[in-house]
Structure 1
């Protein structure tokens, strides 16, 4: 999946350069310091923010990277009257496209939804996860928003079995068997998701209804992860996998 960065990386750089150049023509001139909400320190948002910081520094602009829990917190910071941020990464589908006071600069990369299920759970469809213990992502994360949207669309409502667990905590919960399935949204499955991809008792769910989901939720696209794409020698995944993916956007206030 590193191809996502190879493909979208130049676009991200152009966006950052465009932001820096455009700032020269804004009247009145903006401050020489800009704050960007990035997400988790090891995530794709943080990596892109660090690239932006390097590029903007060449133009004399200091970019302060603010670590957050994810897209929902990023949106709150963008809309905060004081102490907020100027720019943020926002996962597609977490905000209305016409949100007052916000401007989408453009999409920077796609970030697929990865749903891992314990092999003992016979789940072919999302609806098959009804009644199972689900780690759907932490509060404030785009993962949680997307997971709940898909679950509700298939008739699964929130309850004690839907847990606000995400990231490394969700990985460990699935490995220990304290949850039956876990949701992750990331453009970079390695290294975080590698233990799940290499554990025989856990499988990556292929969305059998990917086309239907993509038609219902217009911010989603279907992508196919080819057999062996992540590891040719170990043949991971062992078969083609249908994934659903939103796009990460750079949004300014």
Structure 2
């Protein structure tokens, strides 16, 4: 028995239907996914800017170390020189400066300023050390009427010194003279009797400079015996100690424990800092500040201790659980792409679930709509058959019916919907029989009613 000829291109028609039905839905999902990918969780910038300190300061050296570490992950850190913590803070608060982060000493910001920024953690102590001529100085209030070097304009040392002196009732004027010098210049003034006391902090209070001053006869270091009171009155201060011999074990310098008050140096950023960069910066801070030093044991810094600036949510998460699995196992940029892709899962799932219902319905409607178009022409022929008055009209309707059937022979239908095609052929046969008989059968159900009753 000869096999019936089967069309070998029906799959092409199915593919065409699938593309035109599912294509627009897939395109819409892709566009929405792209918007979520780039707007909701944008990629981290490849270049960020940090305000540091003067080119010869420790702030600047630290910032350069950060830059070298971030460069390993393809991030460029631009380091801007500055006058110190005050200017760093001003740059962070000024949107026109385009500065992303900076090193800021505690005690500089007001509550309003601090609320607009976030901290990635405290990275070191910045103790205030008071050297003076003579002996027996126990209170800052005893400096009233003296010549006091409190640091240069714009420095964190000067800002903190003014606050602590004011708390002790010491203000410029009358016999009290506040000198705008720090570091070696201030120490030279003290040694040459051009100043009675100097308040040193940060780069000004280096180990070598403190040793040189304490070796000069007649110069002493003030012991903040009321350091705990300072920490209560100024929450951004900590009570730290210089143990005996910490500066020089051989000569036992200092000869006894010296209490100091110290603000923290914090890594401060704008709230818009990308979470992935926050992790990288804290990781860099661990490498730079995690070693032991004169004032801290190894591993003490960085730490998430909120003083003036709130700890960012990203920093809190990092200190609590460390880097995510993706960032621990993959290179930074590959992990970032994978991490951002996870953000798409929820919105894409929300879009796909309705699409799973809509696309099959659209596909079925598209396939069946071809059949429905034939029914429109067929019903027109049937209605014409009801109004035939002569043989010419009958032949014209038969020609039209032949045309419909010939066109139907070229129609491509998916196998799952071919039943509708055979039902249509039955209805064509019904109309053809009516035309061939040349009369209306009594009680015959009109085609449009039969089409409604036929299974789809």
Range of TM-score over shorter length: 0.7 to 0.9
Aligned to 2:222: 205
RCO greater where, 1 or 2, for CA within 8 Å and sep 6 or more?
A: 1
1:20 corresponds in structure 2 to none
Superposed CA RMSD: 2.1
Alignment pair present for 1:125 and 2:139: yes
Greater CA drift, 157-166 or 177-186:
157-166
**Structure 1 residue 98, shift from structure 2 partner:** 4.9
Matching of residue 167 in structure 1 with residue 160 in structure 2: no
Contact kept, 8 Å, 2:211 with 2:247, in 1: the verdict is: no
Segments of 4+ moved more than 4 angstroms: none
> Contact conserved, 1:127 with 1:151, CA < 8 A, in 2?
yes
Instruction: Select the residue among 77, 102, 115 that pairs with 2:117.
Output: 102
- Does the 8 A contact of 1:37 with 1:68 survive in 2? yes
Residue 190 of structure 1, CA deviation: 2.6
Query: Highest Rg: 1 or 2?
Result: 2
Residue matched to 1:14: none
Q: Deviations over 1:207-250 (max 9, x none)?
A: 12111111111111111111111110121112210100111001
Deviates more, 1:132-141 or 1:179-188: 179-188
What is residue 257 of structure 2 aligned with on the other side? 240
**Shift of residue 50, structure 1, vs aligned partner:** 2.2
Aligned residues: 228
Partner Cα distance (2:179, 2:242) in 1: 27
Residue of structure 2 equivalent to 1:228: 245
TM-score (norm 2): 0.47
Determine which of 111, 116, 135 is the counterpart of 2:131.
Answer: 116
* 1:186 maps to which of 202, 213, 224: 202
1:67 equivalent in alignment to 2:81? yes
Match of 1:13 in 2: none
CA contact (8 A) 1:171 1:193 kept: no
Alignment CA distance shift 1:26-1:42 (3 Å): farther
The 5 A counterparts of 1:2-41 are 27-41=41-55
Kept in 2, the 8 Å contact 1:37–1:67? The answer is yes
Instruction: Judging by fraction of residues, say which structure has more helix.
Output: 2
The alpha carbon displacement at 1:141 in A equals 0.7
- TM-score normalized with structure 1 length: 0.83
Q: How far did 1:200 drift?
A: 2.4
Instruction: Give a deviation string over 1:56-111, Cα, whole Å, max 9, x none.
Output: 00111111222222111111111223235211011111113552531111111111
Structure 1 pair 141/147, CA: closer, same or farther in 2 (3 Å)? same
Structure 1: where are the runs of 5+ without partners? 1-24
Q: Give the secondary-structure state (helix, strand or coil) at the position aligned to 1:191.
A: helix
Match of 1:93 among 96, 104, 107: 107
CA distance in 2, matches of 1:239, 1:233: 14
For the residues of structure 2 that align with 1:154 and 1:148, how far apart are their CA atoms? 10
